[in-house]
Amino acid sequence: MTQVLPFCRYIFTVRVLEPLRLPSFAGSLLRGSFGRSLRQLSCMTHMENCQDCPLLTNCPYTQIFEIPPPECHSLQKFSAVPNPYSIEPPQGGTRVLDTGDEFCFSMVLIGQALSHLPLIILAWERALAQGLNKSRSRCQLVSVHCEGDKEAIYLAGGKVRPHQPVASPLPTMEDTAVLEFTTPLRLQRHGRNVGLRELDARTLLIALARRYQLLCDTQMRLPPQLDFAALDEAAQHIDLKAEMRWRDWQRYSGRQKQAMPLGGLIGRINLSGNLAPFISLLSAGQWLHVGKETVFGLGHYLLHLSGNTEGSP
């Protein structure tokens, strides 16, 4: 499988205008601020519930932030499908930034979301200006870079520069691969979290294939169709060894007005066997992420192959 689904990582540089406390994992904080700002910019009807809106299928907000599930799908019936983005929060744990300090985060845009980049940047600019965290600490968007492009595609107060997203490199086929998870991997089976004892190659690889297929189906006019029967058979012959630990994490849900406990596995996964059917999927997963809560940045990994290392810095 060659890369068909378009995606790109954008790096946002932010300057703090008022002291800001960043939590240990700021994905939920950033997503909430971005979503509110995007809805303010996009909503034409001001209806409380997007699902009842007559503009549901045409609104940029729902096409980016709350994409409606298809009425029917070959894999199963879905109450929700993957949104075409992942927010990758800054690393470094809990910290307090002073006025004038800068931090960076990334956002991966997938499929049709790429065409909304100017709106997405404007939404971030306004969200940061309105303030982050409960303290509403104001920030300023300084610049946006396309991954692999040294020249900024956007500077504060300017326009988005036309650019060509850099395609992800196509890896060579190998019999061994290491997935280094930099954020928790949150997989579920039959509605239950998959722990270290339950984790196997089939669960991981089919979850990655299903995410790729769903994104193709919702973001492309003529989506390719993966052969899940063949992938399932091949995955059963892949050996998985994990050096991982469970990491608890929680986020505050503005809708439910409560803290939501989350957790996942972090560390390294070693895969060995005939990886040819999965190597392109494994490569794309560095941008697409895998598992649950990918919009917050969970399920991000770097792929290391024998004699070759790929992934974001």
136-163 confidence digits (pLDDT tens): 999 999 999 999 888 999 999 899 999 8
Whether the predicted pLDDT of 20 surpasses 60: yes
| pLDDT tens readout for residues 25-57 | 899 899 999 999 999 999 999 888 888 888 888
Maximum average pLDDT range among 35-44, 65-74, 183-192: 35-44
Q: Which helix (H) or strand (E) holds 248?
A: strand 239-253
- 129 and 140 Cβ atoms separated by less than 8 Å: yes
The residue among 68, 53, 62, 10 whose CA lies nearest residue 217 is 68
pLDDT given for residue 3 in this prediction = 56
Q: Which amino acid is at 127?
A: A
What is the pLDDT at residue 227?
96
Bridge partners of residue 179, in order along the sequence: 269, 303
Among 105, 93, 92, smallest CA distance to 24 is for 93
Average pLDDT taken over every residue of the chain:
89
pLDDT at 120: 98
User: What's the rounded mean pLDDT across residues 240-249?
Assistant: 90
Residue 191 above 50 pLDDT? yes
Q: Which residue has the higher pLDDT, 251 or 155?
A: 155
Name the residue with tokens 């499908």. 81
pLDDT at 123 over 90: yes
For position 57, what pLDDT does the model report?
Answer: 82
Tens-place pLDDT, residues 165-177: 766 666 776 789 9
Question: Is 252's pLDDT higher than 80?
Answer: no
297, two tokens: 């940045």
The interaxial angle of helices 117-130 and 27-42, nearest 10 deg, is 110
User: Is pLDDT of 122 > 70?
Assistant: yes
Per-residue pLDDT, 273: 94
- The pTM of the full predicted model, rounded to 2 decimals, is 0.91
In percent, the amount of the chain with pLDDT more than 90 equals 66
Question: Which residue ranges form the domains of the chain, and what is each CATH number?
Answer: 7-155 (3.30.70), 176-309 (3.30.70.1900)
Token pair recorded at residue 93: 């744990």
Q: Is the pLDDT of residue 313 over 50?
A: no
The strand pairing partners of 1, in sequence order, are none
Q: What is the DSSP string of 9-30?
A: EEEEEEEESS-EEEPSS-HHHH
Of residues 268 and 190, which shows the higher confidence score? 268
> Could you tell me if 12 and 88 are in contact, meaning their C-beta atoms sit under 8 angstroms apart?
no
Q: What pLDDT does residue 310 have?
A: 46
* Chain centre distance of CA 109: 8
Question: Could you tell me the two tokens for 62?
Answer: 């729902």
Q: Tell me, what's the pLDDT at 78?
A: 60
* pLDDT reported for residue 307: 44
